[in-house]
Structure 1
Amino acid sequence: MTPAAWGAVLGGLLGSGLVLVVARALALRRTPIAVRVLPYVRDLPQVERLAPRVASSTPAAVGVFGPVLRSAAELVERTLGGAASVRRRLERAGIDATVHDFRVEQVQWGLAGFGVAAAYALVKALTDPGGVALGLVLCVAGFVVGVLARDQHLSAQVTARERRVLAEFPTIAELLALAVAAGEGPAAALDRVVRRSGGDLSDDLARVLAAVRTGEPVSSAFDRLAATTGVPLVARFAQGIAVAVERGTPLADVLHAQAADVREAGRRELIEVAARKEVLMMVPVVFLVLPVTVLFAFWPGVLGLSLTAP
C-alpha cells in the first residue's frame, strides 16, 4: 500500500473518531429529564441526592470508548499489578479515585504517547517507506512510556502533597494546642481548626472530624490517620494525640512538643539542602570563574614573553 493510501486510511479513522467524540460530547451536554423534573417533585426524598449524580457527566472519551478503555485498564492491571501500592499512593495523594480509574488514566496517557509515536512514524514512513517495523516498535514504546509516565506522575503528586502537609503541620498543631489550652475538647478543637484553616492537612483532619461525629472514638480516628498518612511526623502526631486521649495526658503539651519537633526537623532539612547546594555552587566557581581568573593573571605575562622573545 502506498503512503498516500495509508494517509487516506488514517485520516478517515481520525475523522470518524472525532465525529464520534463530538456527537457523544453534545449528547452529554443535554440536561437529562430527571434533572429538569425531579426538583419540582417534592414528595420524593431522593431529589437532592439524585440531581448532582445525574448532572455530573463523565468525560466524552470515557463515555464513547468506555468498554475499550475498561478492557485495556484490566489488561494493564494484570500486566503491572501492584494494586495495593497504587491504592496506597492514591490515598496519600488525596485523590478520590479507585485503582480502576487510575488504570484508565494510565491507558489514556499511553494512548497519547502512542499517538505521538504514530504521528512521528507516519511522517518518517513518507520519507522512508521501509521503516514500518521501526514505526511499530516506536508506537509500542510510546504506549509503554505513557503508561509509566502516569505512574511516575502519581508518585510526584504524592511527594508534592506530603511537602505541603509538612509545611502546614506546625501551624495546624499550634492552633490545636491553643484551642485545647483554651478549654475545648479534642472534637471541638478539631472543628475550630478545620473551619479556620485550609489545605491538605486540614482536609485530612476534616475526615477525622467527620469520623468522630459519626460516633467513632477520637483515638481510633487518629489511629486511622496515622495508618493512612505517608508522612512520619504526621503519623507520630496522630499517634501522640490518640495516646494522650486514651491515657489522659495533657493534650496541649503534646501538641506544642509535636509542633516544635516538626520545626526542628524542617530546620535540619533546610541545613542539609543548603549543604548540598553549596557543593553545586562550587561548580560554576571551579569551571567558570577560576579559569577566567587564571587566564587574566597569566595572559599578560605570556603576551609579554612573546613580544620580548628574539
Structure 2
Amino acid sequence: MTGAVIGFCLSSGMLLVVSGWVRTRRPSIEQRVLPYVRDVLPQLPAPARASSTVEAVLGPAVRRVGTVVGEVLGGSASVSRRLTRMGSTTTVDEFRVRQVGWGAAGLGAAVALSSVLWTTGRAGGPVLLVVCALGFVAGVLWCDQHLSNRVAAREQAMQEEFPVVADLLALAVAAGESPVAGLDRVMRVCRGALADELGGVVADIRTGTPIADAFDALASRTGVGSIARFAEGLAIAVERGTPLVDVLHAQAADVRESARRELIEAGGRKEVTMMIPVVFLILPVTVVFAFFPGFVGLHLTSGT
C-alpha cells in the first residue's frame, strides 16, 4: 500500500511537471502574429534566435525566471540606469538572465552544503530548504551588487581622468581648435573610461546628432557631477560661442581640490583604523628592542 501511494504521488507530480512544461512552451500571441506584420511595420524588433539547442530549450524558462526576479527586486529602471552609466551594451533582460545564473550557482553551492549537512546528520529538512533558498537569493543579490561596484569603480576612474582631459581640451581650444575637434585630438592620446564616453559623443556627432544634444545626452547618462557640468558647459559654449579655456581650467582645478579634500576626509575617518598596526605591531616591537638588551644585561649580571 505504501509503495502504491508513493508511485501515485510520483506519477502525479511528473504529470503535472510535463503538462506545465508543455503549456509554458506554447508560443505567445506576439510570437505568432509578429511574422505576419513585419512587412507592414519593419521597425518592430526581430525575434531573438537561439544560438544553441540548450538555449532554445532552457532559454524561455530562464528568461521567465529573470522577469520574475526583476519584478521581485523592484523593476528594471535602476538596472537600466546602472547599465547606461557603465557604458555596457548588455540589455536588462540579459542582465536578469545573468542574475538567474548567479542564483543557480549559489543554489548549487547551497545544495552541496546541504548534502554534507544531511549526510552528517547536523541539520534537518526545513533548515536545509532555508539554506538552499538563501543560497539562491545570495547569488542574485551578489550579481546586483557586483554591477553596482563596477559602476562605482568606473565613475571613480572617470573622475580621476577628468582633470587631465579638461586641461588637454583647454590647450587644444586655446590653440584655435573647436571643442569637437579638440575632443577628437584628445581622444587620440587618452585611454580610459572617460575617453570612451567622450569618444561615444564624438561618434554621435559624426553620425548627425546635434552637438548640443550629444553633450546633453552625456550629461544626463553620467553619474559624476563634474563630468555632467563639463558636458553642460560644452553644450552651452557650442550654442552661444562663449569662451571655454578659463571654464575648463576652473573645472579641472575644482575636481583636483575635491579629490584632495576627499582624501583628507578619508584619512580622518580611518585614523582609528590606522592606529591598529601602530599599537599592536610597531609599538610592541619598539618596546622589545628598547628593553631586551637591558633584560639580557641584568640576566648576565645576576648569573655572574
The answer to whether structure 1 residue 184 and structure 2 residue 191 are counterparts is no
* Cα shift readout 1:33-65 (whole Å, capped 9, x = no counterpart): xxxxxxxxxxxxxxxxxxxxxxxx968964652
Residue 194 in 1 paired to residue 166 in 2? no
Given that residues 118 and 139 in structure 1 are in contact (C-alpha distance below 8 angstroms), is that contact kept between their aligned partners in structure 2? Answer: yes
Aligned partners of 1:151 and 1:60: how far apart in 2?
Answer: 28
Counterparts of 1:284 and 1:58, CA distance in 2: 55
The 8 Å contact of residues 117 and 138 in structure 1, kept in 2 or not, is answered as: yes
**Matching of residues 67-106 of structure 1 within 5 Å:** 67-106=60-99
**Number of residue-to-residue matches in the alignment:** 251
Q: Are residues 1:148 and 2:141 paired?
A: yes
* Structure 2 length-normalised TM: 0.73
**Does the C-alpha gap of structure 1 residues 68 and 261 become closer, same or farther in structure 2, counting only changes over 3 Å?**
same
1:115 alignment counterpart:
108
Distance 1:130 1:172 in 2: 59
User: What is the rounded CA distance, in whole Å, between the counterparts of 1:285 and 1:211 in structure 2?
Assistant: 54
- DSSP 3-state at the match of 1:275: helix
- Report if the CA contact (8 A) 2:226-2:255 is conserved: yes
Distance 1:103 1:184, change over 3 A: same
Tell me, yes or no, if the aligned pair for 2:106 and 2:138 is still in contact at 8 Å: yes
Q: Deviations over 1:77-132 (max 9, x none)?
A: 12112311111111112221111111111100000000000011112222229722
Shift of 1:230: 0.3
Deviation at 1:283, TM superposition (A): 2.9
Does residue 1:230 correspond to 2:223, yes or no?
yes
Structure-2 separation of matches of 1:236 and 1:147? 35
Shift, 1:166, TM fit: 1.1
Structure 2 unaligned blocks of 5 or more: 1-49, 299-304
The one-letter amino acid paired with 1:142 is: G
Give aligned-pair identity as a percent.
Answer: 57
Separation (CA, whole Å) in 1 of partners of 2:180 and 2:174: 13
**Normalised TM-score (structure 1):** 0.72
Tell me the equivalent position of 2:213. Answer: 220
Determine if the alignment matches structure 1 residue 137 to structure 2 residue 136. Answer: no
Alpha-carbon contact 1:114-1:140 (below 8 Å) kept: yes
Partner of 1:215, secondary structure, is coil
Distance between the aligned counterparts of 1:282 and 1:117, measured in 2?
A: 39
SS of 2:191's equivalent?
coil
Q: Is the 8 A contact 1:241 1:254 kept in 2?
A: no
Q: Among residues 183, 203, 221, which one is paired with 1:210 in the alignment? A: 203
Instruction: Tell me the secondary structure at the aligned position of residue 269 of structure 1.
Output: helix
Residue of structure 2 equivalent to 1:128: 121
Give me the whole-angstrom Cα distance separating, in 2, the residues matched to 1:279 and 1:184: 51
Measure, in 1, the Cα distance between the counterparts of 2:51 and 2:243: 49
Q: 1:253 aligns with which of 241, 246, 251?
A: 246
Pairing 1:170–2:163 present? yes
- The whole-number CA distance in structure 2 between the counterparts of 1:225 and 1:78 is 29
- Answer with 207-216 or 197-206: which moved more: 207-216
Residue 221 of structure 1: how far off its partner (Å): 1.2
Distance 2:87 2:238 in 1: 26
CA RMSD in angstroms, aligned pairs only: 3.0
Decide which moves more: 204-213 or 107-116: 204-213
Q: Judging changes above 3 Å, is the alpha-carbon distance between structure 1 residues 60 and 229 closer, same or farther for their aligned structure 2 residues?
A: farther
Distance 1:148 1:271 in 2: 33
Give the stretch that moved more between structures: 58-67 or 88-97.
58-67
- Structure 2 CA distance for aligned equivalents of residues 130 and 178 of structure 1: 69
Residue in structure 2 matched with residue 263 of structure 1 by the alignment: 256
Equivalent of 1:272 in 265, 268, 273:
265
CA shift at 1:147, angstroms? 0.4
Letter in 1 for 2:178: G
CA shift, 1:139, in A, is 0.8
Q: Is the 8 A contact 1:244 1:254 kept in 2?
A: no
**Do the aligned partners of 2:117 and 2:123 also contact (CA within 8 Å) in 1?**
no
Contact 2:187 2:195 in 1 (8 A): yes
Deviation at 1:239, TM superposition (A): 1.1
